[in-house]
């Protein structure tokens, strides 16, 4: 998802509505509060599973927007 796509999805929502990260893992549900959002430089990569990965490096060729979260536990 790009920043533009995220903005579009949030555009019509009430400004006072809380935003949390929801993760469903098999029979477990987890909720996380958002601590910060910031651009970070590094190198994108693919993990063996095919999922996206990222190596943090100030001299990397890409800038991704990271959302930092706090575990609910």
pLDDT tens figures, 1-51: 999 999 999 999 999 999 989 988 888 888 899 999 999 999 999 999 999
- Total-model pTM: 0.72
Determine the straight-line distance between the first and last CA of the chain, rounded to whole angstroms.
Answer: 27
Query: Which three-class secondary structure state does DSSP give residue 21?
Result: strand
More confident residue, 59 or 73: 59
| Rounded distance between C-alpha atoms, residue 30 and residue 33, angstroms | 10
């Amino acid at each position: 998802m790009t920043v533009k796509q995220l903005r579009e999805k949030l555009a019509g929502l009430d400004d006072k509505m809380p935003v949390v990260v929801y993760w469903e893992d098999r029979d477990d549900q987890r909720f996380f509060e958002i601590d910060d959002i910031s651009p970070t430089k590094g190198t994108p990569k693919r993990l063996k599973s095919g999922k996206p990965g990222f190596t943090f490096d100030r001299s990397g060729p890409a800038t991704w927007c990271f959302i930092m979260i706090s575990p609910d536990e």
